[in-house]
Amino acid sequence: MVNKTKNENASVEERILKAAEEEFLNKGFDGATTEAIARNAGVTHAMLHYYFRTKKNLFEKILNAKVDMLIKVIFGTFKSSGLPFRERITEAVKSHFDFIRKNPELPRFIINEFNSGSRRGILLDKKIWEIIPKLGEELQKAIDEESAKGVANRIDAINIIMDAVSLNIFPFLVLPFLKNIGAPFAEYEKDFLDMRREESIKVITGRLFNR
């Protein structure tokens, strides 16, 4: 029987993790403080250390979770089942965009914590580089088939993937900047993002099929 104490522990742990996630994603490792995390979790900051020992430890838990999300979404991206190629592409771009929309701080977080200056965030290397080539190969095969039929252009899959990711994450990277400089369309965030999602799709399909 899972006893009450265990449950309460789990709940405290979760509250800390939740608070840590928000703090780290918004402020990065350096900007975050364990005190603020503890405060937002509603516990003393000694508790945080009791459960996670060090700030770095806690951070790595969050980072790992986020990288796992990333891996999952990469996996999920391209297996929209029996649709024709063009629709599969469209759906993949769309769902990738929507995923980021639900996790708008994720791109900045990942980009930041893997930058050369920080010596954190190592150790999950392998996992992710097993999967990207898999996606690449699958897409490449599809492209080759379609281009043999004269439907699609002959393009390196890796370029298509990078094009799509570039276009899809960019709006979320610049949004704070646009808001800061008072760009007009930044106020209509939803419209702006919808517009950019459409544009992503148009660019990718245009690149593959010349419209």
**CA–CA separation, 139 and 56 (whole Å):** 37
180 scored as a contact of a second copy (CB under 8 A): yes
| Cβ atoms 109, 28 nearer than 8 A | yes
Q: Which is nearer to a second copy, 54 or 118 (CB)?
A: 118
118 is a contact residue toward DNA (CB under 7 A): no
Closest approach, Cβ 33 to DNA, in A, equals 4
Give the x/- contact pattern for a second copy in 85-124, rule: CB under 8 A.
Answer: -----------------------x-xxx-xxxxx--xx--
Establish if 173 lies at the interface with a second copy (CB under 8 A): yes
Q: Which residues contact 20 (CB under 8 A, 6 or more apart)?
A: 32, 37, 41, 58, 59, 61, 62
Q: Is 27 in the site for DNA (CB under 7 A)?
A: no
Which residue among 82, 129, 149, 190 contacts a second copy (CB under 8 A)? 129
According to the binding rule CB under 7 A, does residue 35 interact with DNA?
yes
- Alpha helices, H only, 42-150: 45-52, 55-77, 85-102, 106-113, 125-148
> Can you tell me which residue has the tokens 């929507």?
98
Least spacing, CB of residue 67 vs DNA, in Å: 21
The whole-angstrom separation of Cα 62 and Cα 79 is 27
Q: What is the DSSP letter of 185?
A: G
DSSP secondary-structure letter at 115? S
Can you tell me which of 26, 53, 127, 137 binds DNA, judged by CB under 7 A? 53
Q: Judged by CB under 8 A, does residue 188 bind a second copy? A: no
Residue 81 binds which of DNA, a second copy, none (CB < 5-8 A, kind-dependent): none
List of residues 6+ apart from 201 with CB closer than 8 A: 90, 93, 94
Spell out, one character per residue from 31 to 70, where the chain touches a second copy: x when CB under 8 A holds, - when not: x---------------------------------------
What are phi and psi for residue 24, nearest 5 degrees?
Answer: -65, -40
* Minimum gap (Å) between residue 62 Cβ and DNA: 14
From 135, 123, 106, 134, select the one nearest 28 (Cα to Cα).
106
Give the footprint of DNA on this chain (CB under 7 A). 3-6, 8-9, 12, 32-35, 43-47, 49-50, 53-56
